[in-house]
Amino acid sequence: MPAFCMRNIITSIASRLGFKKPIFGSENAPEKPICNETLKTTKNVSKFRTEKVAIVGSGVTAMSWAMLFASVGYQVTIFDVFHKNVSDALNSIRVQLKTLESSGLLRGHLNADDQIKCIEGSSNLAKAVKDAVFIQECKKEHYAFKIIIFQILDALVDDNVILSTSTSMTPLTLFSDKIKHKSHVIVSHLVEPFYYGSLVEIVPTIWTYPWIVAGTKEIMKEIGQQPVSLTKEISGYIVNRIQYVILNEVWRLVEQGIVHVQDIDKLISEGLGMYYAFLGPFEIAHLSSEGIVNYIKRYGETIFNVCNITADTPPPCMNTSYSTEFICAHLNAVVPLEKLQERRAWRDACFMRLMKLRNEMNLLFINE
C-alpha cells in the first residue's frame, strides 16, 4: 500500500477516535505552544537538560510523568487533542508543584518554578513528538485505540526514539507488532500513587532492542525511579499479580467467615505493611531466621502445607461473590464516595513522607 494511502487511512481513523487534524502537522497548525507561563526564555541553561520528552495524554498518569521528567530538567511537552485538556493539565501541574514545594515534598533538584518552566503543551501531535528522545504514551486502556496511537507515532518518529507506554492491561505485543519501530516499544508502568512512588516496571516485548531496555532503565533511574525489569511480557506484570493474590486471599477469608471485613485492612496497615514499607518478602524471610537457608528448613514445609490446602480452591469471583455486597457496604461506610479524593490526598501525603523517611534511613545505613 502506498505510504500516502496508509497516512490517509490512519488520519481518518484517528480523527474518528477523537484526534483533530493535523495530527501529522501542517503549515496551518498553530506555531505557538501552550506554555506554563512565558518563563521558558529566561531559563538558566546550566540547570536544564536539552533533551525533549513527549507525553501523549493529559490525565493523572500523564501529569505525573511530566512532573517526574521535569524534576531533573528534561524539556517536556504534554499532548492532548483537546486544547482545554492541555491547559487544565498545565494549570494542575503548576498548583501541584507549588504545593509540593511548600510542603517540602518536591522531587528533583530544581525548584517548582524551574520545573514549571520545563513543561509546555501542544494539541498538535507532530509538534509534540518532534525531536523527542523519549515518548511516554498514557492514553486510555483500549486495544483498538492503542493500535491507532502507535501507528500514528510510528509515522512521526525517527530511529533513535524510545516509544514507551503506560499500559497495565493491554498486551504490548498486540498493538506494536505491525509497526516499523516495534523494536523501540517498551512498557514503563508506574505504581499508584504515580508521582509519589518510585517503582516502575519495565516490560519489553520479544522484539524490543536491548539498548531500548537499557536506555529506559537509565532514564528511569535519572528521574528518581527504581526500575524493575521483566525478562518478558506477562499478563498483569508483577505488582498487579502480587496484589491480586493478596486481594483474592483476603476475599476468600472473608467469604469463608474466618475474619470480619473490618479487620482485614488492619492486617496489612498495622502488620505486614509495616514490614513491606522497607523490606521485600525475601529479605523479610532472611531476617526472620538465621538467614534464608535456615528459614526454609524451619518453615518451608509448613508454608507448603498451609498453601496446599487452598491450592485446588479457585479464587473468588468478585463480580458474583455473595460477600461482595457487605464488603462494598463496609468500604463505602468507612470512606464515602464523596470523600474519596480527600482520602487519596491523605494517602499521597503519607506515601511521600514515608519516602522521605526511607531515603533518610537508606543514607544512614550507607554512611554507617
Indicate the domain borders of the chain.
3-229, 239-334
d(CA 273, CA 261): 17
Out of 3.20.20.70, 3.40.50.300, 3.10.580.10, 1.10.1040.10, which CATH number does the structure's domain 239-334 have?
1.10.1040.10
Half-sphere exposure (CA, 13 Å, Cβ side) for 193?
Answer: 16
Question: What is the reported pLDDT for 259?
Answer: 92
Set of cell numbers at residue 1: 500500500
* Beta carbons within 8 Å of 228's beta carbon, 6+ residues apart: 199, 200, 201, 202, 238
What are the per-10-residue average pLDDT scores of the chain (368 residues)? 47 50 44 49 64 96 97 97 96 95 90 97 96 95 86 95 91 86 95 88 95 96 95 90 92 90 88 85 88 90 84 78 86 90 87 82 72
Q: What would be the CATH architecture of the domain defined by 3-229?
A: 3-Layer(aba) Sandwich (3.40)
Calpha distance 115→75 (Å, rounded) = 9
In order of 106, 272, 275, 284, 350, the CA distances from 357 in angstroms are: 14, 18, 14, 19, 11
Grouping H, G, I as helix, E, B as strand and the rest as coil, residue 204 is strand
Which pLDDT does position 244 carry in this prediction? 92
